[in-house]
Amino acid sequence: MPGSENVGGVMLVTKFRIGILGATGMVGQQFIRLLDGHPYFEVGHLFASDHSAGRRYGDVTRWSVSASIPESIGELTIESISEIPTDDIDILFSALPSDIAESVEEDAARAGILVFSNANSHRMKDNVPILVPEINSDHIRLVAQQPYGRGFIVTNSNCSTAGLVFGLYPLIPFGIEQVVVTTLQAVSGGGLKGVPAFDILGNVIPHIKNEEAKMETETKKILGQFTKNRIEPLKTDINATCTRVPVLNGHLESVSVTLKEEISIEEAVQQFTQFESGIMDLSLPTAPRTPIVLVDDEDGPQPNKHLLLPEDPLGMAIKIGRIRRKSKSLRFLLLVHNTIRGAAGASILNAEYAYAAGYLEGVSA
């Protein structure tokens, strides 16, 4: 258990021992930034592809998510994902590309490690939750069905999905018949080098490979019911169009929802603002105070203006604005910080929740 103990007058702080898979990329860097000084977790191992392995993290990494690498991290030696020292790691946060994530994460789980993954390899598997603690915390119970013994794999969703589910969940009581969503996604969603400047400067690319299918299936699973040891996906019709825009950070989503029951704008506002997640009492370090922030700006939410707010300095809250209504259809815009709430922050929050919910008992720290 993380904690501090007074041993002969010396305060000993114990934290879970953390490794990061895919530590040099955009999401890997965000893991490192967000875990710097974390009260439960202490980063001890960084993993990347073989051609970086053996070299100093600070020498290899094109650090891009803030002014400078946390000092202690820069000195670490990058290790190969093919030689994970499982005895020295309690938790692995994974930012691996999907094509290699599958087996690496399984092997780690089999070795007893708790894997919190941002990769999509396992998301749609029956015994793997796509966990969003504020929305479907009970889905974590799926890990009991995983064949890994003490270890397990918990995933978080795709970055655009991470926003959409907060826009839809408070409306479920009114019956969601159909969702039409168009996203305007930031270039950081493609990773450090994923989107070439020549393609996107002054342009929009109205296609992001596989993204629309991910949004449609993941959203239904996240919003589904956990019953009889399985998840029954939400029955609704979701239609996504995903575009890339010349924005650094922050996915904006134009959402249109057709409801079974008519709902006034006031009721919608109430549903969003009074949304209370079951996890508020746990005071998890990375949980936003208010998971949904209504933006009081007729021109918002905007990536450049509303991504980080005084009441949400980490970027974990979803911002919603411009709620409009026409009979049974409701339209609004939402903004999600794609590499925080939509990636590294989501994995970390999942791990914090797992700890609070007792799923880390028996793990060394």
Active site amino acids:
159, 251
Contact 131, 137 (CB under 8 A): yes
* 302 forms part of the interface with a second copy (CB under 8 A): yes
Among 53, 100, 111, 180, binds a second copy (CB under 8 A): 180
Nearer to a second copy (CB atom), residue 199 or residue 261: 199
Contact 98, 185 (CB under 8 A): no
Instruction: Name which of residues 18 to 37 contact a second copy (CB under 8 A).
Output: 26
| Residue span binding a second copy (CB under 8 A) among the ranges 86-94, 106-114, 202-210, 270-278 | 202-210
Angle at 10 between CA 5 and CA 14, to 5 degrees: 40
Instruction: Name which of residues 318 to 337 contact a second copy (CB under 8 A).
Output: 321-322, 326, 329, 331, 333
As a whole number of angstroms, the distance between CA 76 and CA 163 comes to 34
* 301 forms part of the interface with a second copy (CB under 8 A): yes
Q: Tell me which residue of 252, 6, 242, 217 sits closest to 125, measured CA to CA.
A: 217
Among 202, 281, 358, 362, binds a second copy (CB under 8 A): 202
Per-residue binding string, a second copy, 182-201, x by CB under 8 A, is x-x--xx-x-xxxxxxxxxx
Per-residue binding string, a second copy, 244-283, x by CB under 8 A, is -xxxx---x-x-x---------------------------
Q: How far is CA 146 from CA 84, 184, 322, 362, in A?
A: 21, 36, 42, 17
As a whole number of angstroms, the distance between CA 86 and CA 105 comes to 12
Per-residue binding string, a second copy, 94-123, x by CB under 8 A, is ------------------------------
CB of 33 to a second copy, least distance (A): 12
CB of 184 to a second copy, least distance (A): 5
Number of residues that bind a second copy (CB under 8 A): 55
Q: Tell me which residue of 284, 240, 257 sits closest to 40, measured CA to CA.
A: 284
Q: Tell me which residue of 132, 172, 128, 129 sits closest to 277, measured CA to CA.
A: 132
Contact 295, 310 (CB under 8 A): no
The conformation of residue 277, written as its DSSP 8-state character, comes to -
Nearer to a second copy (CB atom), residue 294 or residue 309: 309
| Residue span binding a second copy (CB under 8 A) among the ranges 112-120, 237-245, 272-280, 283-291 | 237-245
Give exposure, 280-310, as e/b (b: 16+ Cβ within 10 Å): eebebebbbebbbbbbeeeebbbbeebbbbe
CB of 315 to a second copy, least distance (A): 12
Angle at 112 between CA 222 and CA 121, to 5 degrees: 40
Looking at residue 256, its amino acid is S
* 71 forms part of the interface with a second copy (CB under 8 A): no
Q: Tell me which residue of 18, 14, 15 sits closest to 348, measured CA to CA.
A: 18
Among 9, 67, 281, 362, binds a second copy (CB under 8 A): 67
* Footprint of a second copy (CB under 8 A): 26, 64, 67-68, 180, 182, 184, 187-188, 190, 192-207, 237, 239, 241, 243, 245-248, 252, 254, 256, 298-306, 308-310, 321-322, 326, 329, 331, 333
